[in-house]
Structure 1
Amino acid sequence: MISSSLRLVPVTPDNFDAVCAVRVHPGQERLVSPVQKSLAEACVHGETAWPRAVVDGDEVVGFVMAFLDIVWDPAKDPEHRRSGLWRLNIAAGHQGKGYGRFAVQAVLEELRRRGADRAYVSWHTGEGTPEPFYAGLGFHRTGELSGDEPVGVLALT
């Protein structure tokens, strides 16, 4: 059951180990990078990465990272900036309780606050794909690929 103290918080020295301990179900490991890789990417892409711990009470139950205002394809359209969901890891024992939905909605609210009018996400395909989860939140395919992953978009207005 989700508590009223559910929130996203920055990753800090105090919660770093708990955030790094977040593990998805073994069958999902091919679908999402581990938190440690996400945190390394956040360091490398510090201007665009927005990493957050998903915390319920005092317990870290997941990790979410947004990308903020990146140029999608500078060769085609240098003015086309995008923001969206980069990574979502909910601990195996906490899945199916609404934490993922909360984390995505909190990211969407942050994007709205920053003036974004659309949010983007991409996902791996195949068995266990999170596509139905994202579709249930209102994302729909754009027809584009990010690497080999389909891209989804959601209007924020």
Structure 2
Amino acid sequence: MSDKITLARLTPDNIDAALALRVRPDQEGLVAPVAKSLAEAYVHGDTAWPRLILDGGRPVGFVMAFFDIRFDPERPGDRPRSGLWRLLVDAGQQGGGYGRFAVEQVCAEIRRRGGARATVTYHPGPDGPAGFYARLGFRPTGELSGGQEVAEVELSDAP
């Protein structure tokens, strides 16, 4: 990992590189491909924030955040939430700090927009990313969303 890690908007110039990103085969059931994320970003409009993770201009991953979305529209008392919607670090780039960088940038963007906490959902189980998110300060809320665990971090506690 270099000191030139950035997040970039998706453009006609980098879309093919984003679509080529792949997790390891054993992780394919844990995170949707970039194409699905971009389709979701398109239909959700301004609430989605898709970004390419670059290291020195080289694509190494993809992150997508969401801002001020109601967690469950069937529960009228539920508060708006912002957080990490999708994180994918290319199979050959994992373990290099790119995921941590992306989560920190999402948390910074939530803070910039006036948010006080960040939410993430993930597949539970021994092969899932619960430990990764716990190391970044996310704590399970006890809720499930679409079969996924929900965890949050107060941004005053986040990296």
Normalised TM-score (structure 1): 0.95
Q: How does 1:1-157 map to 2 (within 5 A)?
A: 2-77=1-76, 80-157=79-156
- Structure 2: unaligned runs, 5 residues or longer: none
Question: 1:99 Cα deviation (Å)?
Answer: 0.5
Distance in 2 between the 1:33 and 1:79 partners? Answer: 26
Question: 1:72 Cα deviation (Å)?
Answer: 1.9
- Structure 1: unaligned runs, 5 residues or longer: none
Distance in 2 between the 1:148 and 1:76 partners? Answer: 17
Question: 1:47 Cα deviation (Å)?
Answer: 1.8
Q: Secondary structure at the match of 1:122?
A: strand
Q: Secondary structure at the match of 1:107?
A: helix
Normalised TM-score (structure 2): 0.94
Distance in 2 between the 1:126 and 1:144 partners? Answer: 15
Q: Secondary structure at the match of 2:125?
A: coil
Q: Deviations over 1:128-155 (max 9, x none)?
A: 1000000010000001111111100000
How many aligned residue pairs are there? Answer: 156
Distance in 1 between the 2:125 and 2:141 partners? Answer: 18
Amino acid at match of 2:72: D
Distance in 2 between the 1:95 and 1:79 partners? Answer: 35
Distance in 2 between the 1:79 and 1:28 partners? Answer: 31
Q: Secondary structure at the match of 1:42?
A: helix
Q: CA RMSD of the aligned region, Å?
A: 1.1
Amino acid at match of 1:100: G
Q: Secondary structure at the match of 2:31?
A: coil
Q: Deviations over 1:25-54 (max 9, x none)?
A: 000000000000000000010121000000
Amino acid at match of 2:45: G
* 8 Å contact from structure 1 (residues 71, 78) kept in 2: no
Distance in 1 between the 2:98 and 2:129 partners? Answer: 14
Question: 1:4 Cα deviation (Å)?
Answer: 1.7
Distance in 2 between the 1:107 and 1:77 partners? Answer: 26
* 8 Å contact from structure 1 (residues 65, 86) kept in 2: yes
* 8 Å contact from structure 1 (residues 42, 50) kept in 2: yes
Distance in 2 between the 1:118 and 1:156 partners? Answer: 5
Amino acid at match of 2:12: P
